[in-house]
Amino acid sequence: MARKMGFYGVIAYVLYGFAVYWYLFYFADSSLPFEFEGSRADPATFLNGRELMLSEEYSKVRNLLFFLSTPFEWLFYFLILLLGLSKAFKKWGEDTAKNKYGQTAIYLIWLSFFAYVVTFPLSYISYTLSKTYNISTQSFASWMKDELIDFWINYAMMFVIVVVLYWLMNKFKRFWWLFAWMLSVPFTLFIMFLQPVVIDPLYNDFSPLKNKELESKILDIAGQANIPAEHVFEVDMAEKTNALNAYVTGIGSNSRIVLWDTTLNRLNDDQILFIMAHEMAHYVEKHLYIGIAGYLFLSLFGLYFVSRLMNWAIRRWGKEFKLQHPGDLRSLPLFLIFLSMIMFAASPVSNLVSRYQETRADRYAIEMTDNTDAAISAFQELTKAGLSQVNPPWLVKVFRYGHPTMLERISRLEDYEVEKRNAQEGEY
């Protein structure tokens, strides 16, 4: 039975892969609606023929990798259970260490190592793809360094989570999911507090913005918005990428406004001020805290459904999975499968909320700066630097886009321009 389940799992993944490939390369339509042709949202007005071709090629392959990678992890964990590897990892831990913490640590290192090795080809393809299309400028050694940092940070956090999670599963068999959620609230806030000062500096160098004149302009906008910012930070990204970015990170006293140096090098002051006003809007409208609340709300239901699904799966296929109850550490791959599935299924909702917040931030930024030319040209430069599709296919937008499409963002700015012009004419 286990062999048959594994065979069907592989076949299902292959069929899914072909379906995604057919959708992205033959069925999906990313062409511009005719009413936007010739507008400033039309990529033909700011990209040359080669850039248009490259953006379509790059986006299709990158989207394919996205849709293949998460279900590939489900298949991997499914086979780990069916082939008895999860049982073997636990036995190796028990044979090597005497206490539960040591056994869990050894189990996790084997599971993490196998997962990293199996998923490495997809990660490497993604890296080489971005290098081929001149998005990434990162050397292989630097990329591997970041990969290893990722591995050990994820391992450390996973160890803490798994130790607590399985203690709760065995202590509170019916309501472990509720207690796990309650503990996840302070843990999530703690990680977000540490992110800008402990985790992010492991990957890149951060420093106060060197251009003090620009920093003064940015802080002036922050002051108008009653944002208690004393510094703007820049991060050295030019050695890794040609893409552009800016963001607000952290919570409380550790909040930071951050600009990539690639953004500073490629955009002028007016364009940067619009982007900064956009980021400040997230602070003003408390999007970060709304996002945290939404994440915690979804995680409550997610953990509940995971507990129900694990009980159902073990009752039905416990023999094939070599599992008798959810509190057995060997059930971790099953937990990860269901958690990932629920997060993937919920991503259209979370992306929808995020796109709404980003639309609000765009509106705030244009009202604050009142410079549509700078805003539109900034979005055009972001599109060009990242070889992004202006009008991505519907499924790509639903599952991948936490921001509105560039077609939506630029066309809304043009609408704002018309509204402003009409309002001025009405005054006369």
Is residue 83 classed as helix, strand or coil in its secondary structure?
A: coil
Task: Indicate if 57 belongs to the active site.
Answer: no
Determine the Cα–Cα distance for residues 303 and 370; give it in Å rounded to an integer. 45
Long-range contacts: 253-257, Cβ < 8 Å, 24+? 254/193, 254/194, 254/195, 254/196, 254/197, 255/196, 255/229, 255/283, 256/196, 256/206, 257/218, 257/222, 257/229, 257/231, 257/232, 257/233
Name the H helices within 49-139.
49-82, 85-96, 100-132
Determine the Cα–Cα distance for residues 34 and 391; give it in Å rounded to an integer. 12
Terminal C-alpha separation, the chain: 80
Buried b / exposed e over 262-297, threshold 16 CB at 10 Å, is bbbebbeeebbbbbbbbbbbbbbeebbeeebeeeee
Residue 287 is assigned to a ligand binding site: no
Catalytic residue among 73, 279, 328, 408: 279
Task: Indicate if 419 belongs to the active site.
Answer: no
Determine the Cα–Cα distance for residues 69 and 311; give it in Å rounded to an integer. 26
Determine the Cα–Cα distance for residues 162 and 135; give it in Å rounded to an integer. 36
Determine the Cα–Cα distance for residues 386 and 403; give it in Å rounded to an integer. 14
DSSP summary character for residue 195: I
Catalytic residue among 73, 234, 261, 362: 362
Are β-strands 206-208 and 233-235 bridged in parallel, bridged antiparallel, or unpaired? antiparallel
CB 235 within 8 A of CB 243: no
CA neighbor of 231 nearest in space, from 218, 244, 250:
218
Residues forming the active site: 279, 362
Binding residues: 278, 282, 358
Binding residues for Zn(2+): 278, 282, 358
